[in-house]
A and B are shown apart, each in its own frame.
Chain A
Amino acid sequence: MAKYIVRRLLLMIPTVIGVTMLVFFCMSLRPGGVAAAMNLEGNMRPQEREALRQYLNRRYGLDKPLIVQYGRWLNQVLPIGFKYDETGKSTGFGFKVPDLGHSRLRDRPVLGLVAETLPVTLLLNLLTIPLVYGVAITTGIYAARHRGKWFDVSSGVLFFALWSMPVMWVGAMLFGFFASEKYFRWFPTGGLHDTMAEHMKFLPMWTAAGFERGWLLDTAWHLVLPIFCMTYGGYAFLSKLMRASILDNLSADYARTARAKGVGEHAVLLRHVFRNSLIPLITVGAGILPGLLGGSVIIERIFSINGMGNLVIDAINQNDNEMVLSITFVVALIGTISLLLADISYAIADPRVSYE
């Protein structure tokens, strides 16, 4: 087991390097380079403009070969590497704060922006996973127990239809009908908190002025529609997996042995079969994170939540390439780590799995 994990960790190194190369060369292939991104407008003679462009290229190292540029960029974004001081002199090798570049759009270091928006995106995603699992596991068990009955069939069809619904459609409809002023104004139009959330108590309580919803309930209220949009599409796959897994295990030898001992059907299901049926669901758990991260871009856009997805769209619309590059890099890192976790949890959850 330990051997497997170590090998898997070592295999992660080429993946991360590949991801960074993909992201970097994608950027370097774009027409223009950094100088084009900077504003070279203004009252300048052609020679002056050319000189400024060359200066900028030299300043940002764009006159060097691509592979050198890549090395420098990699050194810059990794938390371990060669350190440089203000004047560009090397101060040795060691741990440092990764530098994700400078956002032209917000005029701030990208690292700070990521540190601000990443928790929001992760909050959305990490709230989604348990909700999807809860619904999928319950319906999966129920559908397996009543196989072929109306609940099995109808939940299958319903989840399949939900899975096919584009998240932007559902999001736009929910936003339009339940959050806009024109129809039912049951939910807030956007953001994660009310403007007054800073002054709220944490928990809801009754005060002299009446009911006060508090910070927690306020956030939950803001999260209802976005979280619904993030979850509904995931039921189909997981509940089908759970159902198939339960059915597989119900006809397994150990379940028959349990029944032969005289264990009731209910206990066989909940005590024996249930735990084994969870294995495939555990193993896909971490692997669905990249897909969710993609989906949350749309949700963040519709409900104006200031997460990384919204940031990246703004960056693209404003041609802030460095920010696009850095955020893609961060998201790719999260994706790589979650794939790694998926593989390791596969090996841990099911001892029968061998990787020799």
Chain B
Amino acid sequence: MVRRNRAVQSYLTGVIRDTLGRWGARFGLAWLIGITFLAVFAPLLANSRPFLIKMDNQWSSPMLRHFTPADVTLLVTALAAVTLLLLRRIPIWIRWVTLAVVVVVTLVFSLIYVNPPKTEIYSIYREAAALGRVQFVLNAPIPYSPSDYLRDQTNSDPSPSLQHWLGCEELGSDVASRLIHASRIALAIGFIAEGIAVVIGVIIGALMGYFAGVVDIIGMRLVEIFSAIPTLYLLLAFVAYFGRNIYIIMVIIGMTSWTGYTVFTRAEFLRLRKQDFVQAAQALGLPLRSILFRHMFPNGMSPVLVSLSFGVASAILAEATLSFLGLGVVGAPSWGQLLNQATKGGGGFRWWLAVYPGLVIFLTVFGYNLIGESVRDAVDPHLKKASML
């Protein structure tokens, strides 16, 4: 038990160390850390509500008052993750458990105790400042919320200016602010959708590879069904019928993109199923779940590891594509949605709505792909070494 754990970890650590030594992975990781930073600190970076304000001789912090449970949970989680990353003495699994506990506890507490006001007009602070009622104000670096449509402002030129660095979108809100807040959706889609895809794909692939025969034939038909229909058409059809809720979209992306994992896991399990350690596990009478996921999966996880990063990239791309086609999440900001506005509607081509959101999508997808490529290069020699032994 203990030895197996160490073997898995040393393999994983080896792959991770090897991956991080490559420039592609470093670039990708740096960009993703940047995006994660933007996602976690979004309300502090771009917000119409001042961080600190002295209005009518009264101090208050509208930004803190309007924190949502999601904001609080994200901030606390990020803080806990960084702290735990720095505590090198503690074994890895304790750190993971602590992080999970912190997330759950914060989520529950913030859902109960954090109650931001339902509605508030964004412009009251700007209007108060114009009337001279404000004695002191400390604004966020980008003093515009993503859904602040700036109805009170008369500036009608939406192109980038000193005030709006990346310009405004068609309804008038600040593009930079929307980009920052949209990174949350992108990251969440990547992880949750791909998590679902991995779980489905690995379970089906493991059963196919382990049992082979009839199960394999049936499973292969299932894979064929899902890979015969272009994912985008499947997504479009599902989204058309089940609505545009963000969680539904995540589940749908996950449920339409698992075939890759299945094919790889199946191949690995077919290779492993006749090996001695698997037969020993069977002879010991271990339950199927244990044979498949404790004994076989750690030995056959390399291809899953490789395709994981590419998968996250394609999930993010899928969401952006849906939003681009006007079928994405309603209301919340999204990168694809901004890109969609570049060529749509009157007024011709708005280049800032094409260049910046597109660049962000590209760099994120590129970052994940670079990491995936590096993992593949890092895993390959391990695979070769393993097959030589």
Contacts and interface: CB of A to CB of B under 8 A. Distances in A.
Interface in B72-124: none
Interface of A is mostly: helix
B239, B343, B358 pick with most chain A CB within 10 angstroms: B343
A316 interface: yes
A173 B358 contact: yes
Contacts of B268: none
Contacts of A19: 225, 228-229
Chain A's interface size range is 35 or more
Contacts of B242: 29-30
A284 B90 CA distance: 48
A169 interface: yes
B327 interface: yes
Contacts of A18: 221-222, 224-225
Interface in B233-276: 233-234, 236-242
A320 B343 CA distance: 25
Contacts of B339: 168-169, 172
A41 to B, nearest CB: 21
Interface in B198-239: 217, 221-222, 224-234, 236-239
Interface stretch (A80-88, A136-144, A289-297): A289-297
A339 B339 CA distance: 33
Given A301-B325, A339-B224, A169 B362 contact: yes
Given A15-B221, A18-B222, A182-B348, A172 B228 contact: no
B229 A332 contact: yes
B129 to A, nearest CB: 36
A11 B349 contact: no
Nearest to B231: A294
Contact of A336 (B217, B224, B232, B365): B224
A331 B225 contact: no
Interface in B129-163: none
Contact of B313 (A22, A164, A168, A182): A164
A11 B327 CA distance: 35
Contacts of A27: 237, 241
Nearest to B341: A172
Interface residues of B, number: 47
Contacts of B351: 176-177
A164 B358 CA distance: 11
B237 A26 contact: yes
Interface of B is mostly: helix
Nearest to A334: B228
B228 A336 contact: yes
Contacts of A68: none
Interface stretch (A108-116, A246-254, A321-329): A321-329
Contact of A175 (B222, B231, B349, B355): B349
B321 A298 contact: yes
Contacts of A336: 224, 228
A339 B228 contact: yes
A11 B326 CA distance: 38
Given A164-B366, A173-B355, A313 B230 contact: no
B32 interface: no
A15 B232 CA distance: 19
Contact of A180 (B321, B325, B327, B349): B349
A26 B355 contact: no
Contact of B238 (A26, A172, A301, A331): A26
B233 A328 contact: yes
Given A26-B238, A166-B358, A331 B229 contact: yes
A176 B354 contact: yes
A161 B234 contact: no
B284 to A, nearest CB: 34
Given A23-B237, A164-B366, A182-B349, A335 B358 contact: no
A166 B365 contact: yes
Interface string B291-322: 00000000000000000000001000100110
A30 B237 CA distance: 10
Contacts of B227: 290, 335, 339
B51 interface: no
Given A18-B222, A166-B320, A160 B373 contact: yes
B230 A302 contact: no
Given A164-B369, A175-B349, A316 B336 contact: no
Interface string B320-337: 110011110000000010
Q: Which 4 A-B pairs have the closest CB atoms?
A: A169-B358, A294-B230, A294-B232, A176-B349
17 contacts: A26-B238, A27-B237, A163-B369, A164-B313, A165-B365, A172-B343, A173-B354, A180-B343, A183-B349, A293-B233, A294-B230, A312-B233, A312-B236, A319-B240, A332-B229, A335-B228, A339-B228
Interface of B: 217, 221-222, 224-234, 236-242, 313, 317, 320-321, 324-327, 336, 339, 342-343, 348-349, 351, 354-355, 358-359, 361-362, 365-366, 369-370, 373
